[in-house]
Structure 1
């Protein structure tokens, strides 16, 4: 045991009337929701990068956090893993996620990076033998180092493309070694700063081939997890190619990958794209590509990705309603791609941020399940489109413009608008929060 979380007890469910800070008031892992354990519905995951690699910096200021594992060596990397698994145990979370650069020291060469990743992967594997926590997904950091300033898969330099492809190979294999349920690709620099020096078609073709290689290698090594893309519209680039769900789906269709790749959708990224989180989830579900989610929030007064922990039960309800409607998570889950504030210096802050977020999500899940069981929202939706279920409605879709014009003239059709009843439905949802 390390001393970092000393005197912090394991967090357990105590109910809404429980006393103290280190308890769950709403997250009861064993509670049955729609016949399934709450833990198995939510599949919570801790983000290794935000919880253990983030130093407290923001676009306007540097490091504020001091951690005993901050350093460049393998000893610090292993101490970081020790503390991480202690935190997983305190929270009782079933999963974690990591980038290669979060977990292993940066080497001078690719070969050194590979050796470091393999060593820390084996260290993770040993830790997991005595832990309930499994790997939700792994990924590669192809955006922080200066070599990626013009992208990875879309970089104009073939050497950077090669380095990136080799890195993803090692990270996919590490994820496979650890029994990961998914592998995520986030194109943090896959975009452009200016069109003056950008060949859009070439970069898209290179990104499509890169992703195809990943899928090919997945099948070659027998990885059974999902390959996921995480959309994001901007920041740090002026425009990123994985802008939103619709854009990524068009990309997948363009390169014949729509049956091989699903999406990991983040709330904060949805908002940056000008959408709501539930919109992106509903659209992905309708397209058959909803895979997993990153749960966080942005500050409404900031125009950038602040990655705060969720604390709004209404937002969580709307999100989990779409997840449940789509059948729930299979291999995906709820990863907290969120970090404490740069003024939150204490180890307890790291624990309590997750406690509050898990309770918020639990409240949202329970409300969403009750709303789904109640059926009133779906009944209202069905009633709005009921005209299309009759023979005349179905016939319109197989008709022609000429035949439809003749029908409108013959029957003197004069449509009258009908209320969408939005306020009534909003009030309905609020009854379940």
Structure 2
């Protein structure tokens, strides 16, 4: 495979490369054993097909496409989709990843009818399966695009029109069958238009019930066809145009638990920063993991000044280190991995920029993996946290921890020992400890 990116060879690990040599990995060494496993098994990198090969530099209202590619003429012809798919597999191979993440509309355009759409998709999935056989790759996840077509402008599973809801169900049914055909590790249900612009035009619980019904049918069809992949949901932070029903990890997990669906799903979390919600999104990684619901991670960053998210290639080693620490503490991502979900900037018009961006993200998380492994091996955080929660090891604290304490016991304890003494949170200490690993001192 050397047709669409002839100027780039397979990217190699060269930790001693000069500063201006940016088509090499300085930190990502696939076979290096870190924390008991090869680096590539911890990270399980996957290229996001949509952001890498369908986004071509266009911006809503502010300009046309800027990325000119030999493999993409901008049409919806089947030949164009085939060229793009073959170019993608050449890119995956040269980058050295074993997974890619893809949706039905990434692979094939829609036809004049549902049957024609399914026929064309099946043809393209057959081509993808052939390319997978040649390269040893497979999807980290397969998904259905439940947002691009105008029919989904008011949502998919939460659409007030039952006709649109039924169409989404038919699309997900076909998507699950194609995921099985491609031997996908996971199936992602992602519908960011399922939300509201104003509560005066929505019946919220009804919307959520309909979404849950779609998820239930997906779980049932997965079982029916014998697809072994994990079902995933991706929370989507709110943006100025719409409040998503699944706006964060806790909301999504609460909805799943309310409708009795938590055993069927795990979450695909996108770290980053939301000025609108005022927090970084390693928060959602940690929350999902705490409830044993972290299934996969969309490894991209965001511009802090942008409301919502903006899918920038991962470069924040501090955030990545916290994410990898969480992943190691839960014993890995099992069937999940790290989807390289960033987009090129509009002004990054050369094909080499696509390699530079993905190398940046992969090196960021490889470096973060080493950091996280060192944190766990040293035990500094663990010891400090154990000390902070030390009062729960005996006495009233131990009874609280076991769920055995009563109001009366707590009242008696306070009467006996009086007012608690203020205890410092030592946040600055924790920040300094973290920086020691993220930015180690000079040797």
**TM-score of the superposed pair, with normalisation by structure 2:** 0.94
The answer as to whether partners of 1:16 and 1:26 remain within 8 angstroms in 2 is no
Distance 2:426 2:120 in 1: 58
* 268, 277, 280: which one aligns with 1:276: 280
Distance 1:128 1:9 in 2: 20
- What secondary structure sits across from 1:262 in the alignment? strand
Distance 1:214 1:291 in 2: 17
Distance 2:89 2:272 in 1: 27
Q: CA deviation at 1:398?
A: 1.9
Structure 1, gaps ≥5 residues long: none
The answer as to whether partners of 1:143 and 1:152 remain within 8 angstroms in 2 is yes
Distance 1:17 1:269 in 2: 31
C-alpha change, 1:242 and 1:146, in structure 2 (3 Å) is same
1:8 maps to what in 2?
Answer: 8
C-alpha distance after superposition, 1:100-124 (max 9, x if no partner): 1111022121111111110110000
Q: CA deviation at 1:2?
A: 5.8
Q: CA deviation at 1:273?
A: 4.2
The answer as to whether partners of 2:274 and 2:304 remain within 8 angstroms in 1 is no
Distance 1:270 1:285 in 2: 20
* 157, 160, 167: which one aligns with 1:156: 160
Q: CA deviation at 1:41?
A: 0.3
Distance 1:97 1:272 in 2: 28
1:417 maps to what in 2?
Answer: 422
Distance 1:116 1:36 in 2: 40
Q: Provide the aligned C-alpha RMSD in A.
A: 1.6
Structure 2, gaps ≥5 residues long: 439-443
The answer as to whether partners of 1:232 and 1:269 remain within 8 angstroms in 2 is no
The answer as to whether partners of 1:272 and 1:305 remain within 8 angstroms in 2 is no
C-alpha change, 1:13 and 1:393, in structure 2 (3 Å) is same
Distance 1:55 1:221 in 2: 36
C-alpha distance after superposition, 1:132-169 (max 9, x if no partner): 32210010111111100111111111111111101011
The answer as to whether partners of 2:238 and 2:308 remain within 8 angstroms in 1 is no
* 90, 96, 99: which one aligns with 1:95: 99
2:172 maps to what in 1?
Answer: 168
Matches within 5 A, 1:99-114: 99-114=103-118
Q: Does 1:195 align with 2:199?
A: yes
Q: Does 1:62 align with 2:64?
A: yes
Q: Does 1:319 align with 2:320?
A: no
Q: Does 1:222 align with 2:235?
A: no
C-alpha change, 1:148 and 1:384, in structure 2 (3 Å) is same
Distance 2:417 2:334 in 1: 51
* 390, 401, 411: which one aligns with 1:405: 411
C-alpha distance after superposition, 1:300-357 (max 9, x if no partner): 2222422110112111111111111111110000001111111111110111110111
- What secondary structure sits across from 1:151 in the alignment? coil
The answer as to whether partners of 1:243 and 1:273 remain within 8 angstroms in 2 is no
The answer as to whether partners of 2:396 and 2:405 remain within 8 angstroms in 1 is no
Distance 1:270 1:382 in 2: 31
1:143 maps to what in 2?
Answer: 147
Aligned residues: 432
| Worse overlay, 80-89 or 107-116 | 107-116
C-alpha change, 1:223 and 1:350, in structure 2 (3 Å) is same
C-alpha distance after superposition, 1:377-420 (max 9, x if no partner): 011001111110113312244232223222322x2323111222
| Worse overlay, 57-66 or 210-219 | 57-66
Q: Does 1:49 align with 2:50?
A: yes
2:441 maps to what in 1?
Answer: none
* 350, 353, 372: which one aligns with 1:368: 372
Q: Does 1:31 align with 2:35?
A: no
- What secondary structure sits across from 2:4 in the alignment? coil
Distance 1:360 1:283 in 2: 22
| Worse overlay, 390-399 or 103-112 | 390-399
The answer as to whether partners of 1:271 and 1:277 remain within 8 angstroms in 2 is no
- What secondary structure sits across from 1:432 in the alignment? helix
